[in-house]
Structure 1
Amino acid sequence: LGGATLNYPTYDKELYALVCALQTWQHYLWPKEFVIHTDHESLKHLKGQQKLNKRHARWVEFIETFPYVIKYKKGKDNVVADALSRRYTLLSTLDAKLLGFEQIKDLYDSDFDFAEIYESCSKFASGRYSRQDGFLFYENRLCVPNCSLRDLFVREAHGGGLMGHFGVAKTLQVMRDHFYWPHMIRDVERICSRCATCKQAKSKVQPNGLYTPFPIPSHPWTDISMDFVLGLPRTRAGKDSIFVVVDRFSKMAHFIACRKTDDASHIAALFIKDLALLFLIVTLSF
């Protein structure tokens, strides 16, 4: 949301989100009837509204072009779907029992970077800084004092999970989403440049010239691309990640639940089970 939409009442925001989703996926949704699950109970009465303002009338007119059924789903039963839009804010709630986090509070008072601002925020927020439960935050990002945790967080972000080790730019982006300290880029560059795994796995000789584009596929599901969505809440089946497979011709996507700890053999088995048996020929694009 942005601009005037931020001032919409809750019902309008929920309805606007539905309109945006239908606009994005309309080419896949029009042929057959589908079910819309929403955790906003008022939307289940969408078809029965008698009086509509101009904005609602315009949106409902568009929505009614689809063969849909709308069902209410309680928020507590919809936590996995919610995580798809909230995955970048999951770290905003800190578990102080995590090893080392309690010690952060004790380090603020003597830290060169944050001691003064930490003291000034003892009662009220100071500029973009604020204190919550003894932790110092800068624009909702945790301020990390000068200690070994800085290197630990950078190494964890650089690791990248199933997607391999990130470069400097991507690692810095992940870090800036959740943490803050002065000259963070300097620490990220230092740790990434000294990563033994990267030095062993990455070529020392960089290829010259322009990138060679992929050939344009002529049929659906002859060329695909793959990626992973990580850091989601764990389901009852123990799944906490999504294996995404996209057809480069039609842009149609398949989403397969998996675990972050799954190795290549498990991912290959999921691919064969869900996709390779469904399509006769698949050319992998890397």
Structure 2
Amino acid sequence: IQIVEECDSVLWKVKVPEELKVYYAKRNELSIEASMILWGHRVVIPHKLKERILKELHVGHFGATKMKQIARSRFWWPSIDKEIERMVNSCSSCGSQHNDPPKEKQHKWEITTKPWERIHLDFAGPFRGEMFLVIIDSYSKWCEVERMANDIRSESLQKS
């Protein structure tokens, strides 16, 4: 707390100690409330409490993504993401329960042998307030673009 209170002192303006530069960069966003340093609505965690907070966050073995989401909503300290990743990577339970979805096999299109055998369609826009239908022939790479009505819902397109 003393560090935050001294942010505007002459010492800060002369030379900022290396380990405090990250706090100095946020000096205009830090506040003190009920003896806690806040960055916005998040509590700035002192160095000596980081491990305790990390252990509490890790209790459910949610994995790095969920832990970061929870931590970022409530706390802040320099390198919070790296420390969460370090904890998750060093946990054997998280490693054994880690459930990466299988990688989707990339779909390969069959090679076309003549024009208009296969076309690709997509909408583009809005561009300057208008929508466009883009049609590309996969064989020749010929492209056709048609200006569409702004309403591209299927019911509207069927009426056209």
In the superposition, the TM-score normalised over structure 1's length comes to 0.27
The answer to which structure has the higher helix fraction is 1
Of structures 1 and 2, the larger Rg is shown by 2
Higher strand share: 2
